[in-house]
Every structure is written in structure tokens, then in C-alpha cells.
Amino acid sequence: MSTISNTDLTITDVNVTNLKDASGGNSSTPAAILSGRAKAWVHYNQQTPAVIGSFGVSSVTDNSGGNFSVNFSTAFADTSYVGVTSNNLYNRGSQATSLLTKTTAAMSFGTNYELSADGNTISDAEVNMCVFFGDQ
């Protein structure tokens, strides 16, 4: 095994079969990284509103009560990407996050909870977690 130590290293093309972290663990192939890893994620509090943490997200837009858009740093190749969401409105009954709109540059969501057996209401969720997978 060779070790290269340099603070300024430029490499144009590298062919590798396996990548590992500095301790030699957590290996991944380049193909697995390219096809199966999350391309973007965000933890968002719409009540404040504030982004708690994110990766691959340029911003979050608070469109209206219970409606927000996640804007990506890099657009997806097409609209076949997948967004997985979860929210928490704290002690307000059954909860759901609905997809409102989807483009290659952003995805908009609505958060609602069951107010009564008769219907739902839309409200800002304190905890919104979204993860996105697909080709960029």
C-alpha cells in the first residue's frame, strides 16, 4: 500500500474499484455511490422557518401555511427522482406529507394532520425531513 501526503494534489482521472474512509473501513464502489446514495436531504422547521441541516439543497421556500418547496443545488436529470419525507406536528393526531409539485429543480410539499373524523387541516410542521434519490 502506498501513502501520498500532500496538501495540494490535483488528479484529473482516477480509476478505482473501491473507496474507503481514512481508517480503512466503510468501503463503497464508485458505481454504488453514483446510483444509490442520497443526492440531497434537508431537515427543516417550517414554524420558525429554519433549515436545521442539509446536503445538496440550495434553499427551502416557505410558500404558505403547510406548504414549502425544497430547492436543489444541482437539478435532477428528469422528474423520475424519488423524494421520501417525514414530518411531526407534535400531538396533533394523524399526520401526512403530500407531494404538491415536482420539477427537476425543486419539490413542493404540503403538511397536514387529521383535525377530526370529518377532515384535515394544513399546518406548518415543526419537523420536516426529506431525502432525495435519483440521477443528476
Structure confidence at residue 110 (pLDDT): 87
Q: Roughly how many angstroms between the first and final C-alpha of the chain, as a whole number?
A: 34
Structure confidence at residue 129 (pLDDT): 92
Structure confidence at residue 17 (pLDDT): 80
Q: Which residue has the cell 377532515?
A: 119
pLDDT along the chain (136 residues), means of 10: 69 78 78 79 94 97 93 96 85 73 95 65 85 92
Structure confidence at residue 60 (pLDDT): 97
**Which is it for the CA torsion 47, 53, 55, 59, positive or negative?**
positive
Catalogue all structural domains in the chain, each as residue range(s) with its CATH number.
38-133 (2.60.40)
Structure confidence at residue 91 (pLDDT): 61
